[in-house]
Structure formats: C-alpha cells, structure tokens
Chains A and B, each alone.
Chain A
Amino acid sequence: MNHPEDDQNDVRELRELLKKSVPRVHAELRRDLWPEMLQRLDSRTTRVPWFDWALAAAAAALLLLFPQAIPALLYHL
C-alpha cells in the first residue's frame, strides 16, 4: 500500500512533467480580428453575370410584347 505522501509526490512530479512536455497556450489573441471581419463582410458584393442580365431583359421584353401573359403568369406562379 502506498503512503499518502508518496502519492502527493507522484502527482506533483506528474504535473511538472506535463508542464514541461505540453507547450504553453496563448489564451489571448495577438491582434484584433474584428476589423478584418468587417472588411470581409464589406467585400461580399453580389456580381450578376451578363447571362442573368440577358435573361431578365428577355423575360421583361416578352412580358411587354405579350402583356396578356401576365395574369396567367401571376396565377400559375
């Protein structure tokens, strides 16, 4: 049976060994990340490709040429 003092010494020794082997973690950030986050949010602009513009224009043109299609479109969609 181990003596309680021996147990205490073992725990202390184990703690020291762990401290030596595991590198110290830096809990604090080295710099503020929020400005970069804001910059990233600002840079998120939606780019509409030419194909989508052409599609929207074609749909609008068809509705102008055939206005009688509008009620059917509103009902079905």
Chain B
Amino acid sequence: MSVLELRDVSKVYGHGVAEVHALYEISLAVGAGTMVAVMGPSGSGKSTLLTIAGTLEDPSTGEVRIAGTDVTQLSRVQKAQLRRRTIGYVFQDFNLLPGLTAAENVALPLELDGMTARRARQAGLAALNRLGLAERAGHYPDQMSGGERQRVAIARAVVGERQLLLADEPSGALDSVNGEAVMRLIHEACRGGMAAVVVTHDAQLASWADRVVFLRDGRVTDRTTPAAGPESLLRGAGGDSGSGGQVR
C-alpha cells in the first residue's frame, strides 16, 4: 500500500477570468521506503503539489490518500492530527522556533500531540543522536550553522512514528557538502521505511531519489525510468578520454 497517493488531483485558484490552474490531474503514488523527487521550474506547481500532499491545502478535485486514509474526507482537527503524527516537513529556511533549543524543537510535535514532555524529550534526543547532533541538543538555532539547523529540522520531521516526509528545496540555502549531508539523511529515513517527496529544481538533489517526476505548467510531463546498475557506468568509462558518462 502506498503511504501517499494522489489520484487525478487538480488545483484551481480564483474564478472566471482570474482562474489559475496550478495543477492538472496529477496522479502519484509513493510507497514506504521510497523517495520521489518532483522537479520543475518556478511556477510549475511543485510547491502546490507538496502543500496538497501535506494536507495544508485541499485539492479542487481528485483524491489524496495518506496511509490509506482519504484526507479530503477528514475534518480540520483530524487533518491536524494526521499531520502531527504521520507527516514530517522540511523547508528550505528550516522553520525552527528560535526560542526553543534543538531538542525542544524536535520534541515539539510530539508534545503537541499529547505526549508527556519527558517522553517527547527522550524521543527528540534519540532522533538528534541518530543524526549526529547529540551534542547540539541544548543549543538554540542561532547558535548553529545552516547545515546543523537543517539536520535538526530533519530530526523534527522524522521523530516519532512518522511515515511521510515532505521536503521543499531542503538544501536550497546550503553549500553542496551540507546539501549532500541533508539528502543522505532523507535517504536514510527512507531506508528506515519512510516515504519521501522532495520538490526541487536542483538535479543533484533529485538524483538521490528512486524516481524523478517532471512537472511543467501544473502537469506531469515525464518520469525517470528505473536506472541500470551503477556498474554499467564504471564499465562504460575508461581510456584516455577521461569521461565516465558521455552525453550523446
């Protein structure tokens, strides 16, 4: 069963002459343990797709199922609960609360969901520990580097029993080394059984995904096909040309 399934999802903003079609009949299924990247230029509908997948907005038509539940049928309270328990979000600008330490930021969604402060803190520390940030638990966001802040944001997104991780340009503000570290963590979360959707215009980020979906003007225009094993690249390379994968 897919953790996230979009069926013929369309989104229209405005009415009449001011009507804007942000998404047209998008269908997408993401299973547990899978990372899907959605690539497209600005204005292609990537962020709208993510907000609908994250139940922050309703589609105009179509169905959104998360962990088997049709979320378009849920009340606002039920959706908020689903978001807290099932979905983790990672944004380009981290969205950490500045007045809370790293550990408090990570524990916050669990506390909001009714977990005792002590248990939430333990779970938060465990998540930070898994991401190599144990010694930063007591630091505030402004005492950490951009890369560390994003790792805290990922810890917050994967803490507890989350099944779905949604990321919007998660390494957009970071240098390439920190960006790679962020993608490794998201990849790791998928290996642990989460499903992830990463929207980006950056091919290096997208290349971490199992599948890449291309969006243009609100429509899915193309998808990658499962790639051959990496061995084929190493076999194909060689000689004095110094080129491993020629663009033909």
Partners in one complex: no
Q: Which A residues fall within an 8 A CB radius of B?
A: none
Interface residues of B (CB under 8 A from A): none
